[in-house]
Structure 1
Amino acid sequence: MLTTGRCPRRRKATYNVRTRQFIERAALSAALSLSLLGLGTSAAAADTSAPLPISSYRDMAVDAVHQRVFLSDPFGDSVVVTDYTGQVVKQISGADGAWGFALSGDSRTLYVALRDAGAIAAIDTVTLQETARYDTGTGAGAYAGPTSLALAGGKIWFGYSLDTWRGALGSLDLSGAQPVVTRNQALDTFRGSPRLAATAQAPNTLVATESDGNTAAVAVYDVGNGQADTQARRVDPGPDGCESLQDVALTPDGQQVVVACAAARYHQALRTADLADNGTYTTSGSPTAVAIDPAGTIAAGVYGPSSPDVHLFAQGNPTAYTAWDFPEPSDYADTTLVSGGLAWAPDGSRVFAVTETSGSSSLTLKVLNHPRVDTTVTVQAPASSPRNQDLTLTGKLEAPVGFGAGNTVDIWRIDDPMAGEGTLIGSASVAADGTFEYTDQPKAKGDVQYTVQYHGDTRHESAYGSVTVHVTSD
């Protein structure tokens, strides 16, 4: 027999079956109450909302190691640093036309595209001081300097403008004794400085997009050999085309590109291999931002005062499992998400959103806590198994949002369910898709119950599942 439900967080060497049965009934009652009230997966209100000392914005990077958020201020020539509650830690000046960011894999260095200096700056994330500046050789200014950065193929890639009508890709290689800049890649593809996206799990894949205000172009490159080798290219992608592209993101597995095109009423998904249509994420309003966390959860932001501003989706599911609607300060003012104004904390615990209020010249950083969603554990095992022989349990954690890597479940065994004592016999690693496996050698004959316990995390409620196996003689 299979059961599922929530479980207590406290771990013990043994537990009593009567206690467990009471917990099961209480958990089921609580779950039903939440379901009837419609509160099972409701989003928490924004924990914090802090004003920013800037009136321009282009990009955001989140440093999980030091719990810092970096925001670019291109027209104020600065980089603003906040903590995880949105409180300003420092405003770094002298960043001429600070536009796009790329954070090193070890979170030690933030690279900043300085459009108005024609350079890329390196900022130490501990001291918050600029430690180096690399000339890109592109020239400086609105139709020359670098604007977007991405780490791929062991290099820092940047998008820049050749002139008023053309854009290109360049790369900065810091692996040798001297920095090496390579320019003029992907020529005749973009009509302006391209926006870039990459993911650590697909290190040789680089996505570049551009929009001239009408139709957008999207391209995918293999940069593993040091050059941008075109794998796929498409103009005006999506079922209804893509006008005025606002943002782009690549899923962690590198299999899907998600774009926010202002003219649509959904976020479009494209298959990375060939940029064919690969589904949509239904939103209400004009798409203006997209960000994807390491577990594949998609945050899709829209511009529209009469609809939810930020929606969350499990990868591949077109329906949002929760959403936030920003409160309006008055009947005469609207609070809206800015273009490209979303970023995840790498652990998926919260979403950072940059907003603006009509009639105000300043911006605000909102911190949105991810709701703890209901989770289930299913467990499978043979109906019977010989004593002192390998018995393999398999199962899966399931929830509206992915689990990522690094999770474990505890395995309890009750050799005699009627006696009331259970023993913690081990733990099993959970794969990114939620599956797990554990092998035991039961000693006692008769019915043996196995209970798998997940203790929850910042995004998932605790849960358990059980299965009973009849153990026979050797």
Structure 2
Amino acid sequence: MHIRQFAERATLSAALGLSLLGFGITTATADTSTSLPISSYRDIAVDAAHQHVFLSDPFGGNVVVTDYVGQVVQQFSGEAGAWGMALSSDSRTLYVALRDAGEIAAIDTATLQETARYDTGTGAGAYAGPTSLALAGGKIWFGYSTDTWNGALGSLDLNGAQPVVTRGQGLDTFRGAPRLAATPQHPDTLVAAESDGNYATVAVYDVSAGQADAQAKRVNPGPDGCESLQDLALTPDAGQVVVACAAAHYHQVLRTADLSDDGIYTTSWSPSAVAIAPDGTVAAGVRGASGPDVQLFTPGNSTAFTAWDFPPPSDYATTTLESAGLAWAPDGSRIFAVTEDSNSSSLTLRVLNHPQVATTVTVQAPASSPRNQDLTLTGKLKASVGFGAGSTVDIWRLDDPAAGEGTLIGSAPVAADGTFSYTDRPRAKGDVQYTVQYYGDARHAYAYGTVTVNITSD
């Protein structure tokens, strides 16, 4: 059963007298699912510039490319042990960790051609080659194993005339190749975490000086502990890291500064994946059979505001979310999820279109104000999902509400907390009605609010 709660769209009543000709409301599209031509999976990357999704197939040695609805458009073979991936900040290059080749491949995202390979010097294979990638501090960082019982961090610097590889950082910290997480808003912070099936080790590094300077470290973090780490994600402000640990009963939040416990997201047994949108919305997924497979949370709110439960393929089979099997489209309009059919072990890419959430607009103004004097309107947008940079509202003025005709007098920026203000200087006497319109976006429904002010003599 699909447990999505779609927001109803608000519309202006005829009494407002505002023409909405030319105004478009984004329509939520249906979710899709597509069978993938691969038999293993490790990582996913989303390229918004070309609307492509990249998926790695380590045991088949492939990288598959789909469009935003899940249709396969390209498949790279010969990518031995394709494991972790990272997209450059300009979306021009996808970097792929090739564990079984001991290399990092570079793929041009416009031409979908491999353009280079870089030897990491780690050696190749299960206990040597690079497995996880992250872009931080102007370098490509990779996690790798030094032997069967230890892991470390390395970096690839492509800023000079020749590639420079540095290895052997974070030694004596990890018992295997660590997973990495970074965020473009705070590029000098790198988080690494590893689990050998027992207790995970999480470490935070400052990489601004070119090397991994340890800032915090914790073994078996979280109120439930962290056995069998499956995934981790860093919040856009780099203030928190969310971990998905298979033996826990919920997704656990750690404060990046010292890795102390900093809350939970209430999911269910066996968390397997986590992805965080640029506005901080958390997508948390589980592999367990109880409860929804994927849930969405606003930052700091432990209760989900929407969820998906994937239907089983048959009465005697289950559909499970893959480890690290979630990724956001950068505009927050959809989530990509990789699932497995227990009957056939076949993999599916599911495109989960984010439903627009209900949005309200409140407007405040003085009950009366002199004409030809500044009059300030204040207000706030409210929704269960935050508002990104660049959001605006339009302000309409009806000098005679009975006449039913209005004028668009300006627009106002919306702050991150949803507040806005606008100053007008009305000239007509009598009741003046102000209407504030928010046109919505991929994640918020259209909304409006009104207020009437009595304009008096000078």
Q: Normalising TM by the smaller chain, what interval?
A: over 0.9
Partner Cα separation in structure 1 for residue 71 and residue 347 of structure 2: 13
Q: Bigger CA drift: 376-385 or 64-73?
A: 376-385
Q: Which of 446, 449, 454 is the aligned partner of 1:470?
A: 454
Look up the match of 1:447.
431
Find the residue that maps to 2:406 and give its secondary structure: strand
Shift of the alpha carbon at 1:307?
A: 2.3
Residues 44-123 of structure 1 mapped to structure 2, 5 A cutoff: 47-123=31-107
Shift of the alpha carbon at 1:445?
A: 3.2
Partner Cα separation in structure 2 for residue 347 and residue 259 of structure 1: 23
Look up the match of 1:219.
203
1:156 aligns with 2:140: yes
Residues 389-447 of structure 1, C-alpha deviation per residue, up to 9 Å, x if partnerless?
33332322211112222222111112233333221111122233322232222222333
- Conserved? CA contact 2:155–2:166, under 8 Å: yes
1:166 aligns with 2:164: no
Aligned-partner residue type, residue 339 of structure 1:
S
Residues 162-216 of structure 1, C-alpha deviation per residue, up to 9 Å, x if partnerless?
1111111111111122111111111111111110111111121111111111111
Quote the RMSD (CA, aligned, Å): 2.0
1:324 aligns with 2:308: yes
Q: Which of 281, 284, 287 is the aligned partner of 1:303?
A: 287
Aligned-partner residue type, residue 244 of structure 2:
A
- Conserved? CA contact 1:404–1:433, under 8 Å: no
Find the residue that maps to 2:401 and give its secondary structure: coil
Aligned-partner residue type, residue 248 of structure 2:
A
How many percent identity over aligned positions?
79
Shift of the alpha carbon at 1:325?
A: 0.7
What TM-score, normalized to structure 2?
0.92
Structure 2, unmatched stretches of 5+, are: 1-7, 19-27
- Conserved? CA contact 1:294–1:346, under 8 Å: yes
1:398 aligns with 2:382: yes
Q: Which of 129, 139, 142 is the aligned partner of 2:113?
A: 129
Look up the match of 1:281.
265
1:412 aligns with 2:405: no
Aligned-partner residue type, residue 109 of structure 1:
T
Find the residue that maps to 1:418 and give its secondary structure: helix
Q: Bigger CA drift: 445-454 or 317-326?
A: 445-454
Partner Cα separation in structure 2 for residue 452 and residue 353 of structure 1: 37
Aligned length: 443
- Conserved? CA contact 1:112–1:121, under 8 Å: yes
Q: 1:18 to 1:78 in 2, by over 3 A?
A: closer
Q: 1:387 to 1:48 in 2, by over 3 A?
A: same
- Conserved? CA contact 2:247–2:269, under 8 Å: no
- Conserved? CA contact 2:10–2:445, under 8 Å: no
- Conserved? CA contact 1:46–1:366, under 8 Å: no
Q: Which of 350, 375, 384 is the aligned partner of 1:366?
A: 350
Find the residue that maps to 2:437 and give its secondary structure: strand
Q: Bigger CA drift: 413-422 or 139-148?
A: 413-422
Structure 1, unmatched stretches of 5+, are: 10-14, 21-43
Partner Cα separation in structure 1 for residue 30 and residue 218 of structure 2: 38
Shift of the alpha carbon at 1:349?
A: 1.1
Residues 319-376 of structure 1, C-alpha deviation per residue, up to 9 Å, x if partnerless?
0011111111111111110111111111111111111111213211111111111111
What TM-score, normalized to structure 1?
0.89
Partner Cα separation in structure 1 for residue 366 and residue 217 of structure 2: 50
Partner Cα separation in structure 1 for residue 162 and residue 46 of structure 2: 28
